Structures are given as structure tokens and as C-alpha cells.
A and B are shown apart, each in its own frame.
Chain A
Amino acid sequence: MRAAARYAVFPYQEDSLTTHPNPHPRPNPRRYAEFVAGARDTIPMMVGAAPFGVIFGTLVTSGPLSLWHGQFMSLAVFAGSAQFIALGLIASHASFAVIWATTLIVNLRHVLYSATLAPYVSHLPLRWRLVLGALLTDEVFAVAWAHFRRHPPGDDVSPWHFLGSGLAMYLNWQLWTAVGLLFGAAFPGLQSLGLDFAMVATFIAIVVPQLVALRYLAAAVTAGALAFFWQGWPYKLGLLGAVLAGVVVGVVLSRPGSPRGASATGQSPCKPPNVQRTAGAGQ
């Protein structure tokens, strides 16, 4: 909690130095209360993310990365699914370029989250927006959106709830990553058991509930089948090709004229994107 308090002070000091017109009309106790409320609203998400942090940490110990690499990745990247995928790609000797491209693709959904929340942060100083953006995981988006949507966008919407939620999630991810790293280091025999299957099970738990319509199922089946057949491509490029093909299939089936996808492109731009309803690995 000391770390949380220290970080919380940082953007506050930036504010008091800026000439931005009245960025925070609320009095100080109110900020603290909102910060705590944001953290408290995130507790269910933190519980859900805990097992994924432990699995991530344990998987690190079965690969070529050292323990501090694993913690460093959680500290610097703070994106569960991208971190899991990177471990799998590192183990299969993918090139850095492919790992970075995959990171980009996996995290592109965050663009939808920040587009949804942008009206509520656009009045803040740049420092605030850079910090809040760094903390914007699936879970934090869900909490922040549930909070913001009760208020009209404007200068009087406080970012402290968002910050409390993001920092709570961040510290939680660090804690459970460390637990997993220590667990994996204490039981080095785990890797011979085929623990990487934990990653397969985790991803299945994320994907299957999202296959709510034929177009999603078709996109997933296309990507999965092609990823299998294109395994031999160098640098794991077959993975990217399979993803691209799956997305194209999904988009084609979403066109208004297609039999099943009439509602997909009719999305209003104001409608929030679907949040991945699974904690941790969806970060």
C-alpha cells in the first residue's frame, strides 16, 4: 500500500504545477475516497486475475527466461495475454519481430477501450493521460467504464477512481506473478509434467465463452486450422497469417448483407466494446 500511495501522489503533483484551468475542482478528501473506491471496485477482478498471475510466473520458470525477467515483464508490459503468448513464442524460438507484432495484434483491442473512455479523460493534463493509459487493462476498463458511464463527460469527472482501480490491478498482478515465480522455482520438476498445458486451458477458458455467434466461431476455426497447417512457416509467421485470415472471415460474415452478421457492423460508435469477461490473462 505504501507504493500505491507514493504513485498516487505523482500525478497529483503534476496537476498542481500545471496551468491547466481547474483540472480538479474536487477537494482532497474526495480524491482519496474516489481512489479507494476505485481500488475496492476492482477487488473481484483482482481475485480473478490471481491464478493467471501465478500460472504466468510458474510458466516463466519452465522456459529460458530467468526469474527477474518474468517479474520485469509483468512490471513493464502489464498485459496478461500478451505476456502468456510471448512465453509460448519464446519457447518455440520465434523471432523478436514476430513476438512484437503479436504483442501489437493482441493488444489492439485496447484501442477500443481507450476510444470509449477518451471523452472522460480528454480534459486531463498529458501526464495523467499517459499514466491512465498505461494502466488500461481489460479489467480496469470494465471498472472505469462502469464508473464513468454514470456521469456525463466533462471537466468535473475525476480520474482518481480510474487511477485507484488501475494501481490496484497493477500491484495485484506484480504480487501474483512473484508468487508464481517462487512457486515454480521451488518445484522445478513442474516443467517435465507439461505445465504449458495450463496455458492451453487458460486460453480455452477465455475463447470459448466469446464464441457467441457463428461469425466468431468461423473466425476462430479458420485461424486455428490455418495456424496448424502453417506451423512450418519461418519465425512463426504462420500464426500471424492465420490470425489475419480468421479476422477476414469474421469481417466478411459481419457484413450487413451476410446471413448471420446483420447486427455486427451496425454497432453505434458510442457503444462500448465487449470486454473480455475473463480476468488476468485478458489483461
Chain B
Amino acid sequence: MNYVVLILGMALITWLVRTAVFVLGERLVFPPLVRTALGFVPVTVLTAIIVPMAVSPHGQGAELSWRNPQLVGALAAVVVSALTKRPLLTIAVGLGVFFLWQGVVLR
């Protein structure tokens, strides 16, 4: 029940954001500063989510060591993505390194 409320709220917010300009038309004008700020939203939000998950996967301080499979897998994914810009290859290599590290190297 509670999660239904959560999901309905997310749906309403998403729909309002997507339709606002279509409905309001020219009455909604974005100053250049706002447009610039919006351009930085995707990279900042996603990075803010990734870093804590990779650096402190257990939520108890930084685990900056080679024994942290999340961190090793994430670094591998960053390298692959920077070199190839191919999303599926990035995910495949990242997951592969992560599972290999967790299941084989640290065993």
C-alpha cells in the first residue's frame, strides 16, 4: 500500500515534468542559467549514487582496498567506458570483474 503511494507520486512528478512545457507553452521560459544547470543534473545525480555504493558498499566507512569487489568492478567499468564508450560492454566487463573478484580472487 505504502509503495503504491510512493510509485503514484513518482509517476505524477515525472508526468508533470514531461508535460509542463507542452501544456504551458510559451508562458514557460528558461533563463540560460537554468538551462546550463539542468545540463549538469544527470552526471551529478548518477555519480552521487555510484560513489558511496562502490566506496563503502556496507555503509560503514570507506573500503579503499583491493579486497572491495564493488570498487574493483567499478574501476574496471570506468576504464572500459572511457576507452570504448560502449554501454553494454561496460556493464558486461564491470559485472564480470565484480563476480570474478567476489567469487574467485577473494575466495
Q: Which residues of A contact B (CB under 8 A)?
A: 48, 51, 64-65, 69, 72-73, 76-79, 81-83, 85-86, 88, 90, 92, 96, 99-100, 102-115, 117-118, 121-122, 126, 129-130, 132-134, 136, 193-194, 196-211, 215-216, 219-228, 231, 239, 242-243, 246-247, 250-251, 254, 264-265, 267, 269, 273-274, 276-279, 282
B2 to A, closest residue via Cβ: A96
Minimum distance in angstroms from A139 CB to a CB of chain B: 13
* A-B contacts besides A86-B6, A201-B74, A278-B87, 12 pairs, CB < 8 Å: A69-B4, A73-B7, A76-B8, A109-B41, A114-B18, A118-B21, A129-B19, A197-B98, A200-B50, A201-B91, A203-B50, A224-B50
A112 to B, closest residue via Cβ: B38
Tell me the residues in window 30-58 of chain B with beta carbons closer than 8 Å to chain A beta carbons. Answer: 30, 32-33, 35-57
Q: What is the CA–CA distance of A170 and B17 in the complex, to the nearest angstrom?
A: 18
Q: What is the CA–CA distance of A219 and B44 in the complex, to the nearest angstrom?
A: 6
B105: Cβ under 8 A from any A Cβ? no
Minimum distance in angstroms from B95 CB to a CB of chain A: 6
A130-B23, A205-B77, A243-B48 as given contacts; A254 in contact with B36, CB under 8 Å: yes
| Best-surrounded residue of B25, B39, B85 (most CB of chain A within 10 A) | B39
A255 to B, closest residue via Cβ: B36
Q: Using a Cβ cutoff of 8 Å, how many contacts connect chains A and B?
A: 274
Do the beta carbons of B78 and A136 come within 8 Å of each other? no
Question: 16 A–B contact pairs at CB < 8 A?
Answer: A69-B7, A73-B7, A86-B6, A104-B13, A113-B18, A134-B18, A201-B94, A204-B81, A207-B50, A216-B40, A219-B43, A243-B44, A243-B45, A243-B48, A246-B44, A251-B36
| Best-surrounded residue of B5, B47, B69, B88 (most CB of chain A within 10 A) | B47
Chain B contact residues: helix, strand, loop or mixed? helix
Do the beta carbons of A77 and B44 come within 8 Å of each other? no
Q: What is the CA–CA distance of A118 and B28 in the complex, to the nearest angstrom?
A: 11
Size bracket of the B interface: 35 or more
Do the beta carbons of A107 and B50 come within 8 Å of each other? no
Do the beta carbons of B18 and A107 come within 8 Å of each other? yes
* Residues from chain A with Cβ under 8 Å of B53 in the complex: 88, 196-197, 199-200
B22: Cβ under 8 A from any A Cβ? yes
* Residues from chain A with Cβ under 8 Å of B94 in the complex: 197, 200-201, 204-205
Do the beta carbons of B18 and A208 come within 8 Å of each other? no
Do the beta carbons of B37 and A88 come within 8 Å of each other? no
Do the beta carbons of B44 and A100 come within 8 Å of each other? no
* Residues from chain A with Cβ under 8 Å of B14 in the complex: 77-79, 82, 103, 107, 110
A76-B11, A247-B37 as given contacts; A210 in contact with B43, CB under 8 Å: yes
Minimum distance in angstroms from B50 CB to a CB of chain A: 5
Chain A contact residues: helix, strand, loop or mixed? helix
Do the beta carbons of B46 and A132 come within 8 Å of each other? no
B66: Cβ under 8 A from any A Cβ? no
Q: What is the CA–CA distance of A251 and B96 in the complex, to the nearest angstrom?
A: 36
Q: What is the CA–CA distance of A267 and B37 in the complex, to the nearest angstrom?
A: 12
Q: Which of B18, B41, B54, B73 contacts A136 (CB 8 A)?
A: B18
Q: What is the CA–CA distance of A117 and B25 in the complex, to the nearest angstrom?
A: 11
Do the beta carbons of B39 and A273 come within 8 Å of each other? yes
Do the beta carbons of A223 and B47 come within 8 Å of each other? yes
Do the beta carbons of B47 and A220 come within 8 Å of each other? yes
Do the beta carbons of A265 and B21 come within 8 Å of each other? no
Q: What is the CA–CA distance of A154 and B55 in the complex, to the nearest angstrom?
A: 52
Q: Which of B6, B25, B81, B95 contacts A209 (CB 8 A)?
A: B81
